[in-house]
Chain A
């Protein structure tokens, strides 16, 4: 907790780190958002790929938590479009129920991944790790 960048609570007064959650399952989206809010992040969410692209463009989040199993526009496609749209794409943490999550995360150039179902401790650690890596 001595490292300021790993303690978002310390930055509440100034500017919160914005995390975008892209997940089509409403219950899961809600609980993930709640967890991140409890952790002190500012959270935005999208239920499909198109909306996610819009929000990235508008809000410029520090981290995107991206579900791979999105309907219509899948996680891979969202990532590809982001790379087309932006010169600097925010770090992506992949979330997937597929057995091949590591492989897919690597393929789209994600910074980290969590396999569903996950322990919250592992999840928040992964979020923190990604933010630490990309903050430098």
Chain B
């Protein structure tokens, strides 16, 4: 007896040897015999490491054993008391667990063919006659052991396969964001997971085995043969991914990503495809957002660069520049503007109204609606050269500024903002002050001595007039001569100062008094006739009298200037006509004086400039200019509340027209 032989008695529940790995655990063999020595003999023959021999001394004991364990083979003695071998075999077969268990009958005597046939009919697989050949017994048992092992293995493999398959299936079903489909070689869909149901909204029955991928995509993609082309690509390259126009059951479209991979067996046989579909609407949207974001970033960077360059350009300008958006937000302020204001206006102060102190010339705060920028943006007005005062936050002084402003428009002409340019005119103001001081000094220095001479002469004349003596008469004549010379001198000094004032663009002080313009016109004509022998100076007047309240001396200067110009600029001679008329425009009566010559005229290009202070005609070379000039004529007419205009054609002469209001001039002007 081998010492390591395991013997499990029938009373034992017999699980000791079954511990450990189920695949390598020993196989059990059940031996049933009422004769213990027979069992021992069997043990002696069959004992081996790979098996466990289980003894049963009776049929019922054998039945108990097969109830609890699986046996590779049952060696069953036919002749037993009580329940014999056949009965036991029948019962073993009758049980579910042992239905397939092979049974080898053991019998001591040959009982004939009927006996054998009964054994086979009861499920026996073999018969062994006692005394049996030990080799045959051993090899037969070994065959059954092998068979049992194989069967067990297959069973376990099938179980494992089922488990794996269930696991894989759960993975497939769990991938709810992906439609994972198996396709056969023709592209027919063979499997349909939860992701597919969710994305495409079809049930398995509507798709599996019946449809291909064209069902899941929009007509465009299908008619263009894209799906077919993708399958071809997958076949050629192994794998392909594309973005298509997906369609759910019911027709709703969405951005679908479709990936197709060819499946090939280990030996290179193509068996089908795996297709993975995905709803990438949100992915696509995110990509679009990202692209848009990048685009905006780039645009912003470009705008920033352009703005930076504009700022640099503006900063070198000597004029203060402010840009405002349509809502009044100050979007840009150049260095000169910051200098003028002494601060940078904050963005949240519309028009800088609260922070930038701007005053009208009378010293009151400029109301928002009168700010040039506001007028430009709200009213589309172009504001030209208006004076304001600005209080500098640094110096605290009121600085005179000249403001220009204009609306900024987009390509369609809508106002999108405004620009204001301002120039610190304190140097100009200072210069004007200097001019005024010079004129005042010149006036004082010239007129005071004249006043003394004149008053002295007239006083002496008055006193001498009271003395009735012949020698005094000569003195009075002399004094009168001094007085008259003084009068002329005073006239010349006044004219000189007027010319200086007018040439400097400073206002003159009118001395309006009631006068007859008709008389003045004919006097001027009479005075100037001797100055030319080539011209015929004519006066045309519908009215004998033209009374008005004007500054006689200044109007004389205007007329003298126009007539001497007419003489000068018609060097060939000819008629010069002074026409006096009256006219009513907009309910206002005006006296109208026209001075017409037939001289060289004024080139059309020069016409708008003739009244400019610094203008001199382009065709007047060699002709001397003097006096108050046309700009002076303009200023005097304007200060009278009137106008002066010109019509001319080069080579055909000119007509200057002066209009003066007949209404009494407001003396506060």
CB neighbours of B511 from chain A (8 A): 102, 115
Q: List 13 A-B contacts (CB under 8 A).
A: A28-B452, A31-B456, A31-B459, A35-B455, A97-B443, A97-B444, A98-B440, A99-B440, A99-B497, A99-B501, A102-B667, A118-B455, A123-B455
Task: Tell me if B459 and A116 are in contact (CB < 8 A).
Answer: no
Task: Tell me if A116 and B509 are in contact (CB < 8 A).
Answer: no
Asked whether any CB of chain B lies closer than 8 Å to the CB of A3, the reply is: no
Task: Knowing A27-B456, A38-B459 are in contact, say whether A98-B443 is a contact too (CB < 8 A).
Answer: yes
CB neighbours of A32 from chain B (8 A): 455
CB neighbours of B462 from chain A (8 A): 35, 38, 120
Task: Tell me if B458 and A99 are in contact (CB < 8 A).
Answer: no
CB neighbours of B455 from chain A (8 A): 28, 31-32, 35, 117-118, 120, 123
- A25, A35, A98 — which one has the most chain B CB atoms within 10 A of its CB? A98
A69 to B668, CA, bound (A): 22
Within A25-60, the residues touching B (CB, 8 Å) are: 25, 27-28, 31-32, 34-35, 38
Task: Tell me if A25 and B440 are in contact (CB < 8 A).
Answer: no
A49 to B84, CA, bound (A): 166
Task: Knowing A28-B448, A31-B459, A98-B443 are in contact, say whether A117-B454 is a contact too (CB < 8 A).
Answer: yes
CB neighbours of A102 from chain B (8 A): 509, 511, 667
Asked whether any CB of chain A lies closer than 8 Å to the CB of B463, the reply is: yes
A31-B456, A117-B451, A118-B454 are known; give 13 further A-B pairs, CB within 8 A.
A35-B455, A35-B462, A38-B459, A38-B462, A69-B440, A97-B444, A99-B498, A100-B509, A102-B511, A106-B668, A117-B455, A117-B486, A118-B451
- B455, B463, B501, B509 — which one has the most chain A CB atoms within 10 A of its CB? B455
A115 to B451, CA, bound (A): 9
* B371 to A: closest C-beta gap in Å: 31
Asked whether any CB of chain B lies closer than 8 Å to the CB of A119, the reply is: yes
Residue tally, chain A, CB below 8 Å to B: 25
A103 to B501, CA, bound (A): 16
CB neighbours of A115 from chain B (8 A): 511
Task: Tell me if A99 and B459 are in contact (CB < 8 A).
Answer: no
Task: Tell me if A97 and B508 are in contact (CB < 8 A).
Answer: no
Asked whether any CB of chain A lies closer than 8 Å to the CB of B213, the reply is: no
Task: Tell me if A25 and B439 are in contact (CB < 8 A).
Answer: no
Asked whether any CB of chain B lies closer than 8 Å to the CB of A89, the reply is: no
Task: Tell me if B456 and A117 are in contact (CB < 8 A).
Answer: no
Across the interface, name the chain A residue whose C-beta is closest to B667. A102
* A117 to B: closest C-beta gap in Å: 4
Q: Which of B453, B463, B509 contacts A99 (CB 8 A)?
A: B509
Contact with A along B435-448 (1 / 0, CB 8 A): 00001100110111
CB neighbours of B451 from chain A (8 A): 28, 97, 116-118
Task: Knowing A31-B456, A117-B455 are in contact, say whether A38-B463 is a contact too (CB < 8 A).
Answer: yes
Q: Which of A34, A69, A98, A106 contacts B459 (CB 8 A)?
A: A34
Asked whether any CB of chain A lies closer than 8 Å to the CB of B607, the reply is: no
Across the interface, name the chain A residue whose C-beta is closest to B508. A99
A75 to B668, CA, bound (A): 21
A106 to B509, CA, bound (A): 13
Task: Tell me if A116 and B463 are in contact (CB < 8 A).
Answer: no
A129 to B509, CA, bound (A): 23
Asked whether any CB of chain B lies closer than 8 Å to the CB of A82, the reply is: no
A118 to B487, CA, bound (A): 9
Asked whether any CB of chain B lies closer than 8 Å to the CB of A101, the reply is: yes
Task: Tell me if A120 and B459 are in contact (CB < 8 A).
Answer: yes
* A114 to B: closest C-beta gap in Å: 9
A95 to B459, CA, bound (A): 18
Q: Which of A25, A34, A103, A119 contacts B509 (CB 8 A)?
A: A103
Task: Tell me if A97 and B448 are in contact (CB < 8 A).
Answer: yes
A120 to B497, CA, bound (A): 23
* B463 to A: closest C-beta gap in Å: 7
CB neighbours of B508 from chain A (8 A): 99
Contact with B along A74-99 (1 / 0, CB 8 A): 00000000000000000000000111
CB neighbours of A69 from chain B (8 A): 440, 444, 448
Across the interface, name the chain A residue whose C-beta is closest to B668. A106
* B595 to A: closest C-beta gap in Å: 27
* B331 to A: closest C-beta gap in Å: 45
A33 to B451, CA, bound (A): 14
Task: Knowing A31-B456, A117-B455, A117-B486 are in contact, say whether A98-B448 is a contact too (CB < 8 A).
Answer: no
* B513 to A: closest C-beta gap in Å: 12
Task: Tell me if B458 and A25 are in contact (CB < 8 A).
Answer: no
CB neighbours of B448 from chain A (8 A): 25, 28, 69, 97, 116
Task: Tell me if B450 and A116 are in contact (CB < 8 A).
Answer: yes
Across the interface, name the chain A residue whose C-beta is closest to B510. A102
Q: Which of B453, B458, B498 contacts A119 (CB 8 A)?
A: B458
A32 to B446, CA, bound (A): 18
Within B269-307, the residues touching A (CB, 8 Å) are: none
Q: Which of B452, B463, B668 contacts A25 (CB 8 A)?
A: B452
CB neighbours of B497 from chain A (8 A): 99
CB neighbours of B501 from chain A (8 A): 99
Task: Tell me if A119 and B459 are in contact (CB < 8 A).
Answer: no
